[in-house]
Amino acid sequence: DAKTTQPNSMESNEEEPVHLPCNHSTISGTDYIHWYRQLPSQGPEYVIHGLTSNVNNRMASLAIAEDRKSSTLILHRATLRDAAVYYCILSRGSGNTGKLIFGQGTTLQVKP
């Protein structure tokens, strides 16, 4: 199974951009890249996902390397509410497993 590698922790100042990296060097051609985050004492929540092209939504942007072996979640202006654990996840675009592979997650601290 393809796995992801993320830094254990990162810090950011409030209202500054944050770039959260994820390595997935063994990704297969049909794996989608998903990002979820987990706020304290809550279940994970969806942030964004993509396959090959960069993606934007109201929460964040996802930049995917051309070789797809890495990706970066971009929070354009971090707020205190963005302090959470961010998970980079690969899901299969073919096959019949439906299995999600969670990375270890990056704990993001946002300083006022």
Task: Single out the segment in contact with another protein by CB under 8 A; choices: 11-19, 21-29, 37-45, 75-83.
Answer: 37-45
Q: Which of 15, 99, 109, 111 binds another protein (CB under 8 A)?
A: 99
Both tokens of residue 19?
Answer: 């770039």
Q: Which residues, listed in sequence order, are joined to residue 108 by a DSSP beta bridge? A: 10, 84
Burial of 37 (0-12, 13-18, 19+ CB in 10 A): buried
User: Could you tell me the smallest distance in angstroms from the CB atom of residue 91 to another protein?
Assistant: 4
| Nearest CA-CA partner of 69 in 86, 54, 52 | 52
Candidate segments 9-17, 21-29, 67-75, 96-104, binder of another protein by CB under 8 A: 96-104
Q: Where do contacts with another protein occur on this chain (CB under 8 A)?
A: 32, 34, 36, 42-46, 49, 51, 87, 91-100, 102-105
